[in-house]
Amino acid sequence: MNTSIVRKASAADKEQVLLLYKKVSQNIGGLARNNDEITETYIQKICSESQANGIQLAVESNGHIIAEIHCYK
C-alpha cells in the first residue's frame, strides 16, 4: 500500500529536498528557478530560513520526499 503523509520538514530532509528540486527543475515551468540555480547553498537557505522564520512541509511516501512547500519572512 502506498501511503503518503504530510509532515513538518526537518534539517535531515535537506538532501532529499535538493534531489526533488533538481528533478522538478528539469521540466520547464516546474519551478520558478532553473536547474542551474538549484544548489546546496540555495536549498540550505530555504530550509534554514523556513524552519527558523516560517514553515516548511514535506510530503513523504515510502520513505521519500515527493513534494515540499515552504515560506518565510
pLDDT at 2: 75
Assess contact for 34 and 50: CB atoms under 8 A: no
Domain limits of the chain? Answer: 4-72
Q: Burial level of 57, CB count in 10 A (0-12/13-18/19+)?
A: middle
Residue 27 pLDDT more than 80? no
Using N-to-C axis directions, what is the helix angle for 40-53 and 14-24, rounded to 10°?
Answer: 120
pLDDT tens digits along 40-64:
999 999 999 999 999 999 999 999 9
Note the pTM of the prediction, 2 decimals. Answer: 0.87
- The band of 12, judged by pLDDT with boundaries at 50, 70 and 90, is very high
- For the record, the C-alpha cell of 21 comes out as 528540486
pLDDT at 30: 66
Does the domain spanning 4-72 belong to CATH 1.10.10.1100? no
